[in-house]
Structure 1
């Protein structure tokens, strides 16, 4: 008898279809360029300069540019980082409470990205305080979903 631990039982199941590379592509197919994001970046900056940080963070975390090239994502991230660093410590918890769970997950993605880049590491204390407030409000769920998600910001 063969070694039963090496038998691929999925090969014997007629209903188990193998995933192709096409199946693994994300549902959004159009590439978002910097020209399409430029109005949103200017909205972020104008909301931050007017002091409306809650709407700026909500705008930054809604509909992130997942399907863009790295240069476009970096440009958008720098605008998001400007907004996050201008918020006072006392306001962070209220802003995080106003975000939806999906927006909190996107915020966690931006915080991790910030901690991995030199621009964000300069603002590490601020990003860590955002991180602390998000985990206080929503627990570790957004972190787990970040670790298992293939969409990057």
Structure 2
């Protein structure tokens, strides 16, 4: 399946897309989130985490690099690599351990960790367009393709 492009207008619509992605991933997989500052990556991540049933605050882990969420029997790791100065720093964080159990890993600014991150199931690019955003979902795995197909059939 080729990429899926969606036009999203407003924060509520971006959050709703996150809820839909949460239902598709069921708390497993690797999602790369790309876009300029303020594009909506954290809003989308918040929707995903809340869509899995988390009630607390979901903030951008810009200064901590990773924010963990325990949701029933699922774990979500929300990474923000914006401030990473060298991808090799991920080795010191034990980055490989985060991917060992097929937890859900949401990675903002994945290009900052190039060479140290595994291939994603789904790459999500967000770009401003008119008063909304163009969200492009590019699958890299069988399950990423099935997520896109399911989302396409509901839009």
User: Does the alignment reach a TM-score above 0.5?
Assistant: no
Higher relative contact order (CA 8 A, sep 6+): 2
Larger radius of gyration between Structure 1 and Structure 2: 1
- Choose between structure 1 and 2: higher helix proportion: 1
Q: TM-score, normalised by structure 2?
A: 0.28
The normalised TM-score by structure 1 is 0.29
